[in-house]
Amino acid sequence: MAAHQAAQTLAEKVWNAHVVRKGDGAGAARQPDLIYIDLHLVHEVTSPQAFEGLRLAGRPLRRPDLTIATEDHNTPTLDIDKPIADLTSRTQIETLRKNCAEFGVRLHSLGDKEQGIVHVVGPQLGLTQPGMTVVCGDSHTSTHGAFGALAFGIGTSEVEHVMATQSLSLKPFKTMSINVEGTLKPGVTAKDIILAVIAKIGTGGGQGYVLEYRGSAIRALSMDARMTICNMSIEAGARAGMIAPDATTYDYLKGRPHAPQGADWDSAVAEWDTLATDEGANFDAEVFLDADTLEPFVTWGTNPGQGVSLSETVPAPEDFEDENARAACERALEYMDLKAGTPMKEIRVDTVFLGSCTNSRMEDLRAAAAIIQGREKDPEIRMIVVPGSARVRLEAEAEGLDKIFKDFGAEWRFAGCSMCLGMNPDQLAEGERCASTSNRNFEGRQGKGGRTHLVSPLVAAATAIRGTLSSPSDLDAPAASAKAA
Amino acid sequence: MEKITTHTGIGVPLRQSNVDTDQIIPAVYLKRITRTGFEDALFAGWRKDSSFILNQEPFSKGSVLVAGPDFGTGSSREHAVWALKDYGFKAVLSSRFADIFRGNSGKQGLVAAEVAQSDIELIWKEIENHPGTEVTVDLEARTVTCGSIIAPFAIDDYTRWRLIEGLDDIGLTLQHEEEVTAFEAQRPAFKPTTLPARYS
């Protein structure tokens, strides 16, 4: 043993604190480590085969008390008191209910006050805490890294593995530091930071890495904003993204239902305070981004790396040196029905979607509501607002945000994944164009033939007013005659 | 997982290269909630053609699929392995497997045996000329036997060991269950549990 402990990154500290058994061997031949899992989040789509696997092998679910389930991907956002019309969706939901009852898993069903998108529910209950390992059969599990947790998505076989053993065999990740220094201009948000990061390193840039977001611009962000950033780590190819816990994290957690209480709180904070990356710790890669010059960022193409500042124009295939990027641009322009050189702000949309595990929390809804209040919606635009959880919906209603959205002409829906992936009836029609606060602009993601532009909640709100992709700075002052809510 | 040291069953010739997972199981079947019962989904598109090999006797009762190179390319869907197993296949022989398909096979106890294409050709002739001929896949000896043909096959040591011992990944981890329990015992008391449920 060395006399002193080598400097470690946040990710390495959390990893090392969860090694049940170190893999034999060294270098490339090193076998996987067995890593303990502190929290397993479950939803209806990727769990049925895992539960059935346990049943077939006659295995119990090892730690129901470290497992929690919710219904989100398939759930309707209208008429939630009626039976789910789509039979396949209904079956999948009913299966989750039966499985959770059989294996003793806590489930928040549609209609329950704690139901919602799995990545909104965990943090909101105070179940996601610094220094934990968190997994879920969903790639956006990276969201929970905002608390300084090591959180990542897993496949169905791994879901079953965690259910049976509360652990996973994993090879260590590499680490990448994403430094964002400076101060964001008004109207620029966490969503713009992460879209700019993805455009910079590419959709494969984070492959094999855990990203750690650092720097003054990150420290200044709220927890809701930090979750937005970590959420889209997977869109840069990284399974996990993390932010070191600090006073902002502790303020968010304190008093939440499952946050430590009394003396436990003090012990927890003492431990959480040791998690930040040590001075002099080495990252395998480093990226730098200037927050001062960042502008609202939007995507023009069909992968989240195909983005530009809102003030720019649609790029041309010739703008890309790399042959694959050029071909991808060409294909994307055709699918998106866009001409190179068109100013992004002249792109007219049909639908605005405010929601998803990326941007459906209170802060997102408040930011959008503040923009639309006292202003009029473009009459041609359909705007759908889907709170991330039933709890967010209730809180928003208590603040009167629902009234602002409804007065504006937006649809105020029940919680779920909704139009982010269109597994429920909330889908784009063929050829429809959407400004969406979600995370993936893949072909057909929001509905067959649908076209997605990823935007922040502020850009979504401004776009709903002007009808074309817009930022709040493009808006006139609110109409004087408009009634304040 | 069932232990497999050797398996003998009717060989099915599939004279195709690049059999991708979309052919093995079309996407429409992925909506199902079970891990079993995918037998009808296996090669669902091709099986609509009455001349397809699995629509002919005695091949419909086969359990060793003898395929062309690059078997299992495309999507990562584990459903492809589930469908082959549910239909009754215990082994697939090919000169090259897609990595993900090979990995999924190992997890699910389907033997993906890498056999030289020249030997695949010999086995194809044998099982086509004498339909119903059985093929033996011997994991201990790493050989495939069909009539008078005895051919070696490749499979990585770790997967072979797991198949012979009948260990899936979960089974392997459970061998270290005591270490998991010991780890659990020293977890800090402040770490949260989902039960008993607390509400805001």
The helix/strand/coil state of B11 is strand
DSSP code, position A378: -
Sequence-ordered list of residues with C-beta below 8 angstroms from that of B51, at least 6 positions apart, any chain:
none
**This prediction's pTM:** 0.83
Flag if B195 and A106 touch (Cβ within 8 Å): yes
The upper half-sphere exposure of residue A443, i.e. CA atoms within 13 Å in the direction of its Cβ, equals 9
Q: For residue B104, which of B120, B69, B80, B129 has the smallest C-alpha distance?
A: B80
Give the confidence band of A205 by pLDDT, cuts at 50, 70, 90.
confident
Q: Which of B75, B85, B170 is the best mutation test for A, with the most CBs of A within 10 A?
A: B170
Rounded to whole angstroms, the Cα distance separating B36 from B38 reads 6
Residue ranges in A287-389 assigned as alpha helix (H): 323-336, 362-372
Is it the case that residue A29 has pLDDT exceeding 70?
Answer: no
DSSP code, position A410: -
pLDDT tens digits, one per residue of B158-182: 788 879 988 878 988 999 999 999 9
Task: Tell me what pLDDT residue A421 has.
Answer: 85
B107: nearest CA partner in chain A: A157
Q: Does A99 lie at the interface with B, CB-CB under 8 angstroms?
A: no
Q: What is the ipTM of this complex?
A: 0.91
Give the confidence band of A12 by pLDDT, cuts at 50, 70, 90.
very high
Kindly state the average pLDDT of the residues B140-169. 90
Give the confidence band of A325 by pLDDT, cuts at 50, 70, 90.
confident
Flag if A34 and B194 touch (Cβ within 8 Å): no
Give the confidence band of B103 by pLDDT, cuts at 50, 70, 90.
confident
Mean pLDDT, chain A, whole residue set: 93
Per cent of chain A over pLDDT 90 is 82
Rounded to whole angstroms, the Cα distance separating A15 from A131 reads 9
Q: For residue A352, which of A386, A379, A381, A388 has the smallest C-alpha distance?
A: A381
Do A197 and A289 contact (CB within 8 A), yes or no?
A: yes
Task: Tell me what pLDDT residue A372 has.
Answer: 98
Flag if A155 and B194 touch (Cβ within 8 Å): no
Q: Which two three-digit tokens encode residue B34?
A: 């079970």
Kindly state the average pLDDT of the residues A439-452. 86
Is it the case that residue A2 has pLDDT exceeding 60?
Answer: no
Task: Tell me what pLDDT residue A485 has.
Answer: 40
Task: Tell me what pLDDT residue B36 has.
Answer: 85
Is it the case that residue A96 has pLDDT exceeding 60?
Answer: yes
Rg (CA), chain B: 20
Rounded to whole angstroms, the Cα distance separating B42 from A171 reads 33
Task: Tell me what pLDDT residue A4 has.
Answer: 55
When comparing pLDDT for B46 and A200, which is higher?
Answer: A200
Rounded to whole angstroms, the Cα distance separating A344 from A351 reads 16
The identity of residue A376, as a single letter, is E
Q: Does B116 lie at the interface with A, CB-CB under 8 angstroms?
A: no
Rounded to whole angstroms, the Cα distance separating A95 from B39 reads 21
Give the confidence band of A217 by pLDDT, cuts at 50, 70, 90.
very high
Is it the case that residue A321 has pLDDT exceeding 80?
Answer: yes
Flag if B36 and A114 touch (Cβ within 8 Å): no
Residue A321 CA to chain centroid, in angstroms? 31
Kindly state the average pLDDT of the residues A109-130. 97
Mean pLDDT, chain B, whole residue set: 90
Task: Tell me what pLDDT residue B100 has.
Answer: 61
Rounded to whole angstroms, the Cα distance separating B198 from A125 reads 8
A21: nearest CA partner in chain B: B179
Question: Which residues of A fall within a CB distance of 8 Å from B179?
Answer: 20-21, 34
Task: Tell me what pLDDT residue A405 has.
Answer: 98
DSSP code, position B63: -
Task: Tell me what pLDDT residue A23 has.
Answer: 85
Rounded to 5 degrees, what are φ and ψ at A463?
-65, -35
pLDDT tens digits, one per residue of A251-301: 999 999 999 999 999 999 999 999 999 999 999 999 999 999 999 999 999
* Burial track A42-75 (b if 16+ CB lie within 10 A, e otherwise): bbbbbbbbbbbbbeeeebebbbbebbbbbbbbbb
Rounded to whole angstroms, the Cα distance separating A181 from A200 reads 15
Is it the case that residue A479 has pLDDT exceeding 60?
Answer: no
Let me know how long chain B is: 200
Do A333 and A339 contact (CB within 8 A), yes or no?
A: yes
Question: Which residues of B fall within a CB distance of 8 Å from A132?
Answer: 191
Residue carrying the six token digits 């970590």 = A230
Is it the case that residue A472 has pLDDT exceeding 50?
Answer: yes
When comparing pLDDT for B154 and B17, which is higher?
Answer: B154
Kindly state the average pLDDT of the residues A64-79. 96
Name the A residues in 49-78 with CB < 8 Å from any B CB: 49, 52-53, 56-57, 59, 64-68
Task: Tell me what pLDDT residue B150 has.
Answer: 98
Task: Tell me what pLDDT residue A27 has.
Answer: 63
Is it the case that residue B29 has pLDDT exceeding 80?
Answer: no
Do A164 and A67 contact (CB within 8 A), yes or no?
A: no
The identity of residue A166, as a single letter, is Q
Is it the case that residue A349 has pLDDT exceeding 80?
Answer: yes
Which H or E run contains A370?
A: helix A362-372
Is it the case that residue B21 has pLDDT exceeding 90?
Answer: no
Rounded to 5 degrees, what are φ and ψ at A189?
-130, 180
Give the confidence band of B28 by pLDDT, cuts at 50, 70, 90.
low
Do A415 and A387 contact (CB within 8 A), yes or no?
A: yes
Task: Tell me what pLDDT residue B27 has.
Answer: 58
Per cent of chain A over pLDDT 70 is 96
Which H or E run contains B113?
A: strand B111-115
Rounded to whole angstroms, the Cα distance separating A107 from A110 reads 10
Is it the case that residue B82 has pLDDT exceeding 80?
Answer: yes
Is it the case that residue A91 has pLDDT exceeding 70?
Answer: yes
pLDDT tens digits, one per residue of B50-80: 999 999 999 999 999 999 887 887 555 678 8
Flag if A165 and B183 touch (Cβ within 8 Å): no
Is it the case that residue B32 has pLDDT exceeding 80?
Answer: no
Q: Which two three-digit tokens encode residue B165?
A: 């011992």
Q: Which two three-digit tokens encode residue A212?
A: 């750690």
